Amino acid sequence: MQSTKKPRTGLDLGGEDSDEEVYAIAKRIDNADAPDDMAKKVMEVLAPVEHSTVQYEPFRRAFYTPYEDTATLSEQGVKRLRGELSVRVDGADVPAPVRSFMHLGFDKKMLSMIMKLGLEAPTAIQAQAFPVALTGRDLIGIAKTGSGKTLAFTLPMVRHVMDQRELQRGEGPIAVVLAPTRELAHQTYVQAKKFLGVYGASCAAIYGGAGKWDQVQALRKGVEVVVATPGRLIEMIRKKAAPMSRVTFVVLDEADRMFEMGFEAQLRSVLGQIRPDYKTQQERSEALAKFKSGECRILVATDVAARGLDVKDVKNVVNFDVAKNIDIHVHRIGRTGRMGHEGFEPGTAYTLVTRNETQFAAQLVYNMDVSGQPV
């Protein structure tokens, strides 16, 4: 979830923004009590995971069925409701906002905790974010401080976590929330713990200023949710205390602030440990469909995203980055030179190589040589 400091596409709500005050306090606390965590900005990042070699188990991501009154809303009705909430959305087929917690399909335990906390109706960002997140779609939410952003991702996260297979020994977490400061991470941890507790599930807070030994032990017991600052989570992953193979729900709380504070490398490092299909499949499917139909003539993809891609008319492949090894390289360029209607149709593969990739270049030259290709 993001603040209103720099609006981006996604979900936007009007109102005054007091994030600067919150962050000024949080930053002073973290600088005084947890300087080691701020130092993670210069920490060596984690080695990337070769996801194509890992067989991840399937998981369910969609849990939302629109309430009858919501499902029957006309396009004008949805537009009017968003206007009343001062909500602006950007995206294809975005679900309509909800008016009540009762319209989200939550069970009695969840609803009981909501009532216990005195929550009468969803706030503006919650009303729109709940149906989007509960359908398993990616979401960027922008709203002022105090608008209920934390709960907007916490309830869908708990719903998601409780639908997955129970953790076995050595597994976990299922959901990860990354926050820029210790104070903000703790606030999210307290909120998540309330709702997880009613199901007997657990949450761990991983940030600087607290004992690393206790954090390692908490993680190794197995927790469904981890709320952490980027640097400390990297330490835990490096210690093999926080395996990421079961993670299927990710939240970047105040993502814009983490980038501003210099955590981009750490964020990318952590996200690189997580199975790539935790993100919405819809965007990939739409892109592939457009490419296959010829509507889009250029496709930009990672190795994992392109896996299983079978398009007969590919004439050129450009490897902007070299592959991890020669086998993956061969798989990439194998998308050119397919059998067509008139027999074999050759294609061309381009590979961009830098001075730092001489070892791969040598392997590539050798591979081309033994294949009878002119070098």
- Nearest of 315, 287, 313 to residue 301 by alpha carbon: 287
Residue 284 or residue 223, greater confidence: 223
Q: Are 268 and 49 in contact (CB under 8 A)?
A: no
Residue 12 or residue 258, greater confidence: 258
User: What is the predicted pLDDT for the residue at 201?
Assistant: 97
Q: Which of 75-89, 156-170, 267-281 has the lowest mean pLDDT?
A: 267-281
Instruction: Answer whether residue 53 shows pLDDT above 90.
Output: no
| C-alpha torsion 151→154→156→158, nearest 10 | -140
Please list, in sequence order, all residues whose beta carbon lies within 8 angstroms of the beta carbon of residue 368, skipping any fewer than 6 positions away. 374, 375
The token pair that represents 326 in the structure block: 């020669």
Q: How far apart are CA 324 and CA 22, in angstroms?
A: 43
| Residues 164 and 305 occupy one common structural domain | no
Residue 305, Cβ neighbours under 10 Å: how many?
17
Instruction: Answer whether residue 206 shows pLDDT above 50.
Output: yes
Residue 293 or residue 129, greater confidence: 129
Instruction: Answer whether residue 22 shows pLDDT above 90.
Output: no
**Where a domain ends, among 278, 300, 315?**
278
Q: How far apart are CA 138 and CA 283, in angstroms?
A: 10
Q: How far apart are CA 370 and CA 359, in angstroms?
A: 17
Mean pLDDT estimate for the chain: 85
The token pair that represents 171 in the structure block: 């597994």
Structural domain harbouring 251: 11-278
Residue 195 or residue 289, greater confidence: 195
Total number of domains in the chain: 2
Instruction: Answer whether residue 39 shows pLDDT above 50.
Output: no
Q: How far apart are CA 3 and CA 21, in angstroms?
A: 12
**Where a domain ends, among 243, 278, 313?**
278
| Residues 341 and 354 occupy one common structural domain | yes
For the segment 61-119, what is each residue's pLDDT rounded down to a tens digit? 999 999 998 999 999 999 999 999 999 999 888 999 999 999 999 999 999 999 999 99
Q: Are strands 225-228 and 348-351 parallel, antiparallel or unpaired?
A: unpaired
Return phi, psi of residue 151, to 5°: -65, -30
| Residues 266 and 291 occupy one common structural domain | no
Instruction: Answer whether residue 6 shows pLDDT above 70.
Output: no
For the segment 320-353, what is each residue's pLDDT rounded down to a tens digit? 888 888 888 887 887 676 555 566 677 888 999 9
- 114 in a domain, yes or no? yes
Averaged pLDDT for residues 314-320 = 87
The tally of CA atoms less than 13 A away on the side-chain side of residue 298 is 2
Q: How far apart are CA 182 and CA 228, in angstroms?
A: 8
CATH number (domain holding residue 46): 3.40.50.300
| Residues 260 and 162 occupy one common structural domain | yes
- Nearest of 237, 198, 240, 203 to residue 222 by alpha carbon: 203
